[in-house]
Amino acid sequence: MLASLEVSIKNAIPEGTVDHKPSGVQLASPFYQKREIMKLPPSAKFILYLLRSKGAMNRKRIIQKTLMPDRTVGFALKLLLEKNLIRKEDPEALVKRTSEKRRRRRKRDRRITNYNIVSTILPFVMAEV
């Protein structure tokens, strides 16, 4: 009896009406972008604001500026990367840019990754301090 009730409920609900996620077209609108940012935890919003105001930073520098624990910064960066609000900069591209200007005596550590904000994702102005 219970199985027949579940089948009748599934048949009563039209396909695709249960999912309330916006489509890819709707995510491009500023309303949905703001809503996605508002859903983020405060640590992720603070890192997003910091990257917007100070520019590209590596993980160690973000930890120094925010005074947040390493694990919190890592979780916030992971969330921001998943939402495509920030991107990882290629360390080899940075080395090529700096090597054109002048030669370095020390080799640059290529394991260090800089994070930078995606410029097209924030069409609105975040609060300025």
Q: What is the pLDDT of residues 85-107, one digit of tens each?
A: 999 987 666 555 555 566 656 66
Answer yes or no: are the C-beta atoms of 59 and 74 closer than 8 Å. yes
pLDDT exceeds 80 at position 14: no
Map out the domains of the chain with their CATH numbers.
Answer: 41-102 (1.10.10)
Q: In angstroms, how far is CA 78 from the centroid of its own chain?
A: 7
Q: Indicate the range of 61-65, 78-82, 112-116 predicted with least confidence.
A: 112-116
Any alpha helices (H) in 1-129, and if so which ranges? Answer: 2-12, 24-27, 30-39, 42-54, 59-66, 70-82, 91-101
